[in-house]
Amino acid sequence: MKEINVEIVTPSKSAYSGNAKSVTVPGAAGSFQILFNHAPIISSLDIGVIKIEESDGKLLIFAVSGGTVEVLDNHVLLLVESIETPEEIDIKRAEEAKARAKERLSINYKEKVDVARAEASLNRAINRLKISQKELSK
């Protein structure tokens, strides 16, 4: 079977290690899929979803907040800032973070707030909620 070896590492832990048929990552210029014999690449990752189709067909979904991917010789190394499975996402906390970020971005606060940071917080919260909803809809 044509497989790729996948590793996901955060600053605090090894989050995943295994073989897969494919990996889809949120590249800075858009999502892209990595398959067996993919060309060597190093790319930055955006806030988004990592999907891993394992060798047995099982689909794993993770929420990530950015990072880097390296592909070389059928080995995919993902260095990510943070990663969560749908089960690990605290929906209440994500909803609160979304509300805080929206408030910071409101017209009344724009002069006092780092807009880019608030937008990143909002995007992370929305991504986490989207991933948690995918788990609920299974």
CA dist 44 to 28, 74, 79, 113, Å?
A: 6, 18, 9, 26
Distance CA 135, CA 138 (A): 6
Residue type at position 2: K
Among 84, 109, 127, the domain-final residue is: 84
Local confidence band at 112 (pLDDT 50, 70, 90 cut-offs) = low
Structural domain boundaries enclosing 57: 4-84
Maximum mean pLDDT: which of 9-23, 85-99, 112-126: 9-23
- Does 75 lie in the same domain as 65? yes
pLDDT confidence of residue 78: 98
- Does 94 lie in the same domain as 76? no
- Which of 127, 119, 20 lies closest to 82 in space, CA to CA? 127
pLDDT confidence of residue 138: 42
- Does 132 lie in the same domain as 94? yes
Of 127 and 13, the structure prediction assigns the larger pLDDT to 13
pLDDT confidence of residue 135: 47
Do 6 and 25 touch, CB atoms closer than 8 A?
Answer: no
Helix (H) / strand (E) containing 70: strand 59-72
- What is the total count of domains within the chain? 2
pTM of the model: 0.77
- Does 66 lie in the same domain as 8? yes
Residue 113: which CATH number?
1.20.5
In the predicted structure, residue 117 carries a pLDDT above the cut 70: yes
Residue 80: which CATH number?
2.60.15.10
Q: What's the mean pLDDT when you consider all of the chain?
A: 87
**Percent of all residues in the chain with a pLDDT value above 90, rounded to a whole number:** 57
Pairing relation of β-strands 4-9 and 75-80? parallel
pLDDT confidence of residue 136: 42
- Does 91 lie in the same domain as 80? no
What mean pLDDT comes out for the span 76-91? 90
pLDDT confidence of residue 88: 84
Three-state secondary-structure class, residue 108: coil
